[in-house]
């Protein structure tokens, strides 16, 4: 039994201008102890996907799925009460902005022990002892004295460590890290990533590492899921995906990596992620894709099994008949939608 099973998940937000579909037909399986990287540009629905798994989609968002299960529990029909026993205990999440993610009016100690007392039923004394232990484990110096500190008195990196300590407090089976280093100084980023990886190994937790940086997943994830405009574009083992990307979008993301750039120039993908008003009819990436054809502009490709994973493209890069198929379907040049 997989730890996480998601089938055909959609999340929609009604807005003034119409219904915003932030996540569109996402399916995903995650085994115990597996590390999954989720990448994609900002606004591609990475966070919303994982918030849906956590049951944290804010009103008036709507979640629909054929299946949404964690550790064998059906999350679509679970009661609020049972769900709260899972969240924060068996599945935990840390966020992009550590400083605003901690409550400014309570001490670090209070916020940390709160979780322990709720899920583990510890008394104040025991929870405080455990909190000190946890702060030590996440590499916070002189943890005893930090218990009485307020979040605004700690640096961003320290706060993220506190968030991590809070997340692992009840030995979760799954930890979701939503861009855990994006808001931090470059020097701190590596430390936090190392900490997450070592904690994952030690405890054999499932780990979902959300990031918009391909480099981050390269050396951490076993499997990578590439998202674009709410859809999965490619989902394969990390080794395969980095060695031979099959989707033009993945290839473009990889080309944008500093160490892969040619001639010292950083490649960027022209154009932006489509929003509410400019969502293409066909392939969502077609306005920015170098290989788009009339066919991809009018017919949305399905997510199909490919090269040991899944891909959503009419013309996978590794397809031997690719050129013929593209030529047959009238290529339309490379101009990007403005």
Partner 1 sequence: MTTETMEAPAVASPTATPPHPLREFWGYFSANHGAVAGLVIIVAVVLLALLADVIAPHDPNITNTTIALKPPFWQEGGSIAYPLGTDPIGRDILSRLIYGAQLSLLIGIVVVAISIAVGTVLGLVAGFFRGLTEIFIMRLMDIILTLPSLLLAIVIVAVLGPGLMNAMLAVALVILPHYVRLARAAVITETSKDYVTAARVSGAGTTRLMFREVLPNCTAPLIVQASLGISTAILDAAALGFLGLGAQPPSPEWGTMLADAREFVLRAWWVVTFPGLAILITVLAFNLLGDGLRDAFDPKLKR
Partner 2 sequence: MAAPPFSVLAMLRFILTRVSLIIPTFIGITLLAFFLIRLVPGDPIETLAGERGIDPVRHEQLRKEYGFDKPIIVQYGIYLARVLQGDLGKSMITQEPVLNEFSALFPATIELALCAILFALILGLPAGIIAAIRRNSIFDHGVMGISLAGYSMPIFWWGLILILLFSVQFDLTPVSGRIDVLYYIEPITGFLLIDTLLSDEPEAFWSAVRHLILPTIVLGTVPLAVIARMTRSAMLEVLGEDYIRTAKAKGLSRFRVVALHALRNALIPVVTVIGLQIGVLFTGAILTETIFSWPGVGKWLIDAIFRRDYPVLQGGALLLGVVVMSVNLLVDLAYGLINPRIRHTR
Ligand X SMILES: Nc1ncnc2c1ncn2[C@@H]1O[C@H](COP(=O)(O)OP(=O)(O)O)[C@@H](O)[C@H]1O
Positions that interact with ligand SF4 (CB under 6 A): 248, 283, 285-286, 289, 291-292, 296, 301, 313-315
Q: Which of 35, 37, 39, 40 binds ligand X (CB under 6 A)?
A: 40
Q: Which residues bind partner 2 (CB under 8 A)?
A: 54, 56, 58-59, 80, 84-89, 92-93, 95, 97, 100-107, 114-115, 118-119, 142, 144-146, 148-150, 152-153, 163, 166
What's the closest the beta carbon of residue 48 comes to partner 1, in angstroms?
Answer: 14
- Candidates 7, 8, 20, 299; binder of ligand X (CB under 6 A) is 20
**Interacting residue with Mg ion among 9, 22, 24, 47 (CB under 5 A):** 47
- Residue that the structure tokens 């997943």 belong to: 217
CB of 123 to partner 2, least distance (A): 18
Closest to ligand SF4 by CB, 41 or 90: 41
Q: Which two tokens stand for residue 241?
A: 């995906």
- Least CB distance to partner 2 at residue 250 (A): 30
What is the total count of residues that contact ligand X (CB under 6 A)? 14
Rounded least distance, CB 254 to partner 1, Å: 24
109: nearest Cα among 166, 137, 147, 146: 147
Residue 159 contacts Mg ion per CB under 5 A: no
> Is residue 246 near ligand X by the rule CB under 6 A?
no
Whether residue 90 contacts residue 141, with contact meaning beta carbons closer than 8 Å, is answered with: no
3, 22, 26, 165: which one binds ligand X (CB under 6 A) = 22
Interface residue list for ligand X (CB under 6 A): 13, 15, 20, 22, 40, 42-48, 58, 61
């Amino acid at each position: 039994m997989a730890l996480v099973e998601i089938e055909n998940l959609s999340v929609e937000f009604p807005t003034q201008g119409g219904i915003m579909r932030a996540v569109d037909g996402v399916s995903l399986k995650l085994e115990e102890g597996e590390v999954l990287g989720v990448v994609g540009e900002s606004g591609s629905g990475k966070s919303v996907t994982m918030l849906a798994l956590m049951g944290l989609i804010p009103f008036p968002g709507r979640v629909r799925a054929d299946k949404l299960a964690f550790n064998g529990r059906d999350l679509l029909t679970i009661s609020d009460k049972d769900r709260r026993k899972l969240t924060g205990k068996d599945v935990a999440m840390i966020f992009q902005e550590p400083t605003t993610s901690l409550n400014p009016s309570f001490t670090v100690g209070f916020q940390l022990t709160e979780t322990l007392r709720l899920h583990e039923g510890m008394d104040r004394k025991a929870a405080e002892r455990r909190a000190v232990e946890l702060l030590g484990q996440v590499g916070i110096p002189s943890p005893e004295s930090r218990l009485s500190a307020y979040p605004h008195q700690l640096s961003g990196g320290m706060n993220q460590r506190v968030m991590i300590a809070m997340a692992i407090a009840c030995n979760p089976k799954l930890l979701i890290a939503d861009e855990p280093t994006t808001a931090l100084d470059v020097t701190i980023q590596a430390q936090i990533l190392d900490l997450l990886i070592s904690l994952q190994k030690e405890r054999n937790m499932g780990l979902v590492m959300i990031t918009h940086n391909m480099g981050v997943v390269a050396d951490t994830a076993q499997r990578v899921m590439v998202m674009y405009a709410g859809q999965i574009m490619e989902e394969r083992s990390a080794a395969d995906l980095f060695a031979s990307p099959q989707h033009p979008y993945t290839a473009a993301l990889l080309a944008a990596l500093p160490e892969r750039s040619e001639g010292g120039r950083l490649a960027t993908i022209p154009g932006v992620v489509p929003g509410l008003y400019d969502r293409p009819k066909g392939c969502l990436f077609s306005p920015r894709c170098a290989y788009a054809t009339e066919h991809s502009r009018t017919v949305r490709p399905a997510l199909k099994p490919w090269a040991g994973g899944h891909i959503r493209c009419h013309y996978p890069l590794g397809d031997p008949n690719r050129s013929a198929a593209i030529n047959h379907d009238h290529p339309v040049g490379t101009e990007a939608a403005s």
